[in-house]
Amino acid sequence: MRRFSWFNVTSLTLGFAFLYVPMLILVIYSFNDSKLVTVWAGFSTKWYGELFQNQAFLDAAWVTLRVAVMSSTIATVLGTMAAYTMVRAGRFYGRTLFSGMIYAPLVMPEVITGLSLLLLFIGIGLDRGVVTVVLAHTTFAMCYVSVVVSSRLVSFDKSLEEAALDLGCTPFQAFRLVTLPIIAPAVISGWLLAFTLSLDDLVIASFTAGPSATTLPIKIFSSVRLGVSPEINALSTIMIGIVASGVILFSLISKRNIARAEADARAAERT
């Protein structure tokens, strides 16, 4: 029975305009014919063409993608284990330290995380490259994954696992056959979160990457420091497009799954 009041409409319109207009301008001006990024000179896709000619960007994109896939996958495994440990393992020696180490990276300034990891890699003599970035990204991403997964595990009925054990599963089978399928949506969201965090990260990568593994954010940062460029607008548009369609697709799928589950439940009630 609630309707929009004029105040709410105004505040929502202004708020969402503030959130979306800058990105909208960016997208529109990526199709600008002119080199001058703030003067409209007709529609063109030439910056996309130039972007795909630019080997340095393509290389950086390839590095970023590899890093993101590897680090988010490892982070999802470790983060899920950590979440399971926090929610299910009960008391063990050093539990407080463990939970502290899971939550601390979430609030730690990136400059400090980056600096400390770099000092570690130099200290143990590990050459900086893709491996070090993957190690660094995995470390902070696993904490995010573990928070996402443990919030699902907390609301998960423990008796389901106990039923599986009662029916003859080993603990590992119970996890694989019962727990994992049920918490799968949270694990997938965790992976997506880890993936985008890795794609997005500039600061930690700058510290840990070294010259051999320039990621896309590092490349973008060094070129936008000099000012706005239409090529970067085109690149940004592609990235925004991928993320937006990914998120919308994911939410549509989960919405459809929920709708289907509800329809099934209704059908089951009728019979």
Partner 1 sequence: MRRFTLIALPYLWLLGLFLVPFLIVLKISLSDLNLSIPPYMPQLDISAGWSGLMEFFSELDFENFVWLTEDDLYWKAYLSSLKIAVVATFLTLLVGYPVAYGMARAPSEWRPTLMMLVILPFWSSFLIRVYSWMGILSNEGFLNQFLLWTGIISEPLQIMNTTTAVYIGIVYTYLPFMILPIYSALEKMDDSLLEAAEDLGCSRLKAFWLITFPLSRAGMIAGCFLVFIPSIGEFVIPSLLGGSDTLMIGKVLWEEFFNNRDWPVASAVAVVLLMILVIPIILFQRNEQKQREAEG
Asked if 211 interacts with partner 1 (CB under 8 A), we say no
Integer CA distances (angstroms), 167 to 127, 158, 159, 163, 174, in order:
50, 15, 12, 6, 10
HSE toward the beta carbon, residue 6, CA cutoff 13 A: 0
Asked if 200 interacts with partner 1 (CB under 8 A), we say yes
Q: Are 141 and 197 in contact (CB under 8 A)?
A: yes
Pick from 142, 149, 186, 194 the residue near partner 1 by CB under 8 A.
142
Between CA 160 and CA 269 the distance in angstroms is 23
Interface region with partner 1, contact rule CB under 8 A, candidates 4-12, 152-160, 178-186, 261-269: 4-12
Which pair of tokens denotes residue 34? 């002119």
Asked if 107 interacts with partner 1 (CB under 8 A), we say yes
Which pair of tokens denotes residue 33? 């014919």
Q: Could you say which residues in the range 44-73 bind partner 1, by CB under 8 A? A: none
Asked if 91 interacts with partner 1 (CB under 8 A), we say no
Asked if 81 interacts with partner 1 (CB under 8 A), we say yes
Instruction: For the CB of residue 70, give the shortest distance to partner 1 in the complex, in Å.
Output: 14
Pick from 23, 41, 184, 259 the residue near partner 1 by CB under 8 A.
23
Integer CA distances (angstroms), 173 to 146, 166, 178, 179, 220, in order:
21, 12, 8, 9, 46
Q: Could you say which residues in the range 212-251 bind partner 1, by CB under 8 A? A: 217, 220-221, 224-225, 227-228, 232-233, 236, 239-240, 243-244, 246-247, 251
Q: Are 209 and 131 in contact (CB under 8 A)?
A: no
Interface region with partner 1, contact rule CB under 8 A, candidates 42-50, 131-139, 156-164, 262-270: 131-139
Pick from 44, 54, 73, 85 the residue near partner 1 by CB under 8 A.
85
Asked if 19 interacts with partner 1 (CB under 8 A), we say yes
Asked if 182 interacts with partner 1 (CB under 8 A), we say no
Asked if 18 interacts with partner 1 (CB under 8 A), we say yes
Pick from 41, 56, 58, 112 the residue near partner 1 by CB under 8 A.
112
Between CA 219 and CA 67 the distance in angstroms is 15
Which pair of tokens denotes residue 250? 């994911």
Interface region with partner 1, contact rule CB under 8 A, candidates 6-14, 52-60, 158-166, 177-185: 6-14
Between CA 146 and CA 125 the distance in angstroms is 30
Between CA 34 and CA 260 the distance in angstroms is 49
Pick from 31, 47, 57, 84 the residue near partner 1 by CB under 8 A.
84
91 vs 270, beta carbon nearer partner 1: 91
Q: Are 239 and 57 in contact (CB under 8 A)?
A: no
Asked if 271 interacts with partner 1 (CB under 8 A), we say no
Interface region with partner 1, contact rule CB under 8 A, candidates 47-55, 91-99, 148-156, 177-185: 91-99
Q: What angle do CA 147, 241, 31 make, to 5 degrees?
A: 150
